[in-house]
Amino acid sequence: MANASGFFTPSVPKLRTKIQPSMGISRSGFCFSRRFVCSAGTEGAEKQVSPSESRMPKLVSKGCKLVGCGSAVPSLSVSNDDLSKIVDTNDEWISVRTGIRNRRVISGKETLKDLAVEAARKALEMADFDPNDLDLILMCSSTPEELFGAAPQIQRELGCKKYTLAYDITAACSGFVLGLVSAACHIRGGGFRNVLVIGADGISRFVDWTDRGTCILFGDAAGAVLVQACAAEEDGLLSFDLHSDGEGARHLGAPMSDDKTDELLGSNGSVLDFPRKRSSYSCIQMNGKEVFRFAVRCVPQSIESALEKAGLVSSSVDWLLLHQANQRIIDAVATRLEFPPEKVISNLANYGNTSAASIPLALDEAVRSGKVKPGHTIATAGFGAGLTWGSAVIRWG
């Protein structure tokens, strides 16, 4: 049955439950438990229940809604024909396999931080909102230009005169969805009222431009959404479903590696591997077939779970908005969920895979073009490295 937040708590048969200590109610209205362990027995074998299944009902006194969006892309456009001059490929080969024809790449004096700030300002302008009234800024990115993140720098560039909290979320292509859920949690349980969620990535800096299996896929961009507290009956985040699986990390990642320059220069005076050699992140490494299988299997399940929690079916949802990774993935998920093509939002052809920026970028274009209107319901999902994946059912405006 639905609780006050619009979430549905599924029943799990024959649960053996240990609760230490008993449940309590926090001042925010959320139920909490310091220790809660659920397990289900199947023919004598122990099976751990997922967090989504064991999540306790939440008593939420207020909702949150999406009231403004914005996006920004680099000026340099790289077409498939441009890539054919670098690697052995062509426009037809790329477009048939991915649906991508162009991508934007940061160049010259452009920075990812500048794109994030531009997208943020556009979102605030749409909502006619003063940045000084922000309570929190969430920067969802796996490619910041500063090791310790970019959120505080964005706070400064926006001109926030008070010490608005700002921090980064690293969850690759699922980052923006996790940012939305985090914003809702801060509003519903932390007393925050205005949260700016930014998804921005400069993946092109970590692409091997001689590898046609990966360089054809990625682009750079930023997108932002302003999430605002509202009455419970106006709630715009109807449900969510989040997961991760570290076993799949081998299929998609950019691991740290020792700088080969140090090897040429010798041990740098190191004794017993100290001081450490300089390290840097490698280029993106991806097993495309495994990532495709993961996406078309897990994403529909996650969206179906979120729809069930919201008490909705796919036919009652106005739009399907997936992370823009590959058109084949988008089509396969839409078919599985029985979404007709005219209800699927996609701008992949123009921008490629922009990681955490892809969902807010596509949303912003759809809103500004008049496709998505206030009151429309959107099923959205992000998925990618980690492996991480998650979905949310949201209402625009």
Is 323 known to be catalytic? yes
Taking a C-beta distance cutoff of 8 angstroms, is the pair 145, 222 a contact? no
Taking a C-beta distance cutoff of 8 angstroms, is the pair 101, 91 a contact? yes
Please, which residues have CB within 8 angstroms of residue 368's CB and are 6 or more apart in sequence?
Answer: none
363, amino acid identity? L
Helix orientation angle between 358-368 and 112-126, rounded to the nearest 10 degrees: 40
H helix intervals, 99-242: 112-126, 151-157, 175-190
Name the 3-class secondary structure at 367: helix
Q: Name the residue among 66, 57, 33, 69 with its Cα closest to residue 187.
A: 66
Q: Indicate the Cα dihedral angle 77, 78, 79, 81, nearest 10°.
A: 140
CA distances from 340 to 140, 337, 345 (A): 30, 9, 11
Query: Residue 68 and residue 178: Cα distance in Å, rounded?
Result: 18
Task: Give the up-direction half-sphere exposure of residue 384: CA atoms within 13 A in the CB hemisphere.
Answer: 31
Catalytic residue among 194, 326, 350, 353: 353
Catalytic residue among 69, 323, 326, 347: 323
Taking a C-beta distance cutoff of 8 angstroms, is the pair 134, 192 a contact? no
- Tell how far CA 120 is from the center of its chain: 16
Query: Residue 142 and residue 120: Cα distance in Å, rounded?
Result: 18
Is 194 known to be catalytic? no
Is 186 known to be catalytic? no
Taking a C-beta distance cutoff of 8 angstroms, is the pair 12, 31 a contact? no
Catalytic residue among 38, 69, 140, 173: 173
Question: In which residue are the tokens 């340099």 written?
Answer: 76
Catalytic residue IDs: 173, 323, 353
